[in-house]
């Protein structure tokens, strides 16, 4: 009797935790009205936009383009990677490590959704 209840409780707790995490780290929008927090952050929006214009970009190119530090870029790129919006491939060019980022198809769709969202906001404002 007690066992299933605990499991249920655990599951519930896990879900609540996830919800909270969504608030903190951003997450895919639950509904069409909600903004995609993963993309909405400026630096991450920059990363996605830069990758949308290129097949792939190296870590240094991206850092130069979005004008940020190594640490900042890796943190935010990691978030986008975790969300499945970009992919990251590590290789060696001679002895120097090379990190290459690409936009995934779900990342491209997310950017399109975000653009639609912004356009909808603007057109709604024009109408009123």
Partner 1 sequence: MIRSHMPALRQPHEPPALHDRAMDNLRFIRETMERASAFTAVPGWGQVAIGLSALAATYVAAHQATPKAWLGVWLAEAIISLLIAGWLMDRKARKLNAALFSGTGRKVVFSLSPPMVVGALLTVVLFRAGMVQVIPGMWLLLYGTGVVTGGMFSVSIVPVMGICFMLFGAAGLFVPNLSGNWLMALGFGGLHIIFGTIIARRYGG
- Binding site residues, partner 1, CB under 8 A: 33-35, 40-43, 45-46, 49-58, 61, 65-66, 72, 76, 111, 115, 117-119, 121-122, 124-125
**CA neighbor of 45 nearest in space, from 34, 32, 36:** 36
C-alpha distances in Å from residue 117, one per residue of 35, 67, 91, 105 = 8, 26, 36, 18
Q: How far is the CB of 17 from partner 1 (least distance, A)?
A: 20
Least CB distance to partner 1 at residue 6 (A):
35
Instruction: Write the burial class of residue 12 (CB in 10 Å: 0-12 exposed, 13-18 middle, 19+ buried).
Output: exposed
In the bound state with partner 1, the residue whose beta carbon lies nearer, of 17 and 119, is 119
Query: Is 1 or 53 the residue whose CB approaches partner 1 more closely?
Result: 53
């Amino acid at each position: 009797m007690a066992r299933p209840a605990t499991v249920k409780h655990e599951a519930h707790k896990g879900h609540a935790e996830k919800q909270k995490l969504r608030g903190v780290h951003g997450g895919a929008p639950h509904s069409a009205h909600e903004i995609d927090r993963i993309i909405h952050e400026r630096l991450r929006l920059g990363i996605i936009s830069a990758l949308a214009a290129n097949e792939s970009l190296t870590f240094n190119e991206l850092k130069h383009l979005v004008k940020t530090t190594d640490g900042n870029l890796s943190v935010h790129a990691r978030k986008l990677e975790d969300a499945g919006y970009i992919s990251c491939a590590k290789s060696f060019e001679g002895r120097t490590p090379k990190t290459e980022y690409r936009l995934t198809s779900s990342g491209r769709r997310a950017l399109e959704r975000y653009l639609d969202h912004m356009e909808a906001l603007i057109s709604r404002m024009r109408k009123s």
